[in-house]
Amino acid sequence: MKRIIIGLLFGFIAQASNAQQTSNTPYPVRPRLNLDLEVSFPRGDYGDLFDVGFGGAGGLDIPVTRALYATGTAGVTSFYRKDSETRTYVPMKVGAKYYFSRMIYAQAEIGTSVGIQQGAGTAFVFAPGAGISYPVTERSSVNLGLRYESWSRDGGNIEQLALKVGYQF
C-alpha cells in the first residue's frame, strides 16, 4: 500500500513539474471550497493508545495574491483506541496556502480542537503540510496532501501524521 501511495505521489509530482513550464500560478485564481477525507496516524504518547483516526473537513481558500491563499478549515476527527474506545474532536483552523507552481503547495494552519467527550478538553493546533492540487476540470481539482499536526493540551499532547484526499471547487 505504501508503494502505491508513493508511486501516485511521484506521478502527480512529475505531472506538476510538466505543468509548471506552462504556468506558475494556481488554477484558477478565485475563492475555492474544499471537501476532504482524512486518515490520521497518531504518534508519541497518543499513538500508544490509538491506532488510527478518520475524519472529514470542509474549508475555504481565499486568494490574497496569485500564489498565496488565506485558508479556513473545520471538520471532525475520530480516533479509534486499541481497546475499542473512540475519541472525537472538532478541529477549527486558519492559515495560509502558498503555491510554488500551478499544482504544488505548502500550507500551515493554527487553531483549536475541541473534544466532544466529557474530559476530552480543548487543544491548540499547529498543522504544517504540503500537497498537490490536480485540475480535473476548469473550475475543480483533486487534492492529495500530507501534514503533521500537533495538538497541545492539558493531559497530554496529540501528535499525528495525516493523509488528506479532497475535492476542490
- 8 Å CB contact between 115 and 87: yes
Q: Do the strands 68-81 and 50-63 form a parallel or antiparallel pair, or are they unpaired?
A: antiparallel
**Alpha-carbon distance 23 to 35, whole Å?**
25
Beta-carbon contacts of residue 8 (< 8 Å; ≥ 6 apart):
144
E strands within 21-85? 32-43, 50-63, 68-81
- 8 Å CB contact between 125 and 93: yes
Q: What is the pLDDT along the chain (169 residues), one digit of tens a residue?
A: 555 555 545 555 555 445 444 455 555 689 999 999 999 999 977 788 888 999 999 999 999 999 999 999 999 999 998 778 888 999 999 999 999 998 999 999 999 999 998 878 899 999 999 999 999 998 899 999 999 999 998 877 889 999 999 999 9
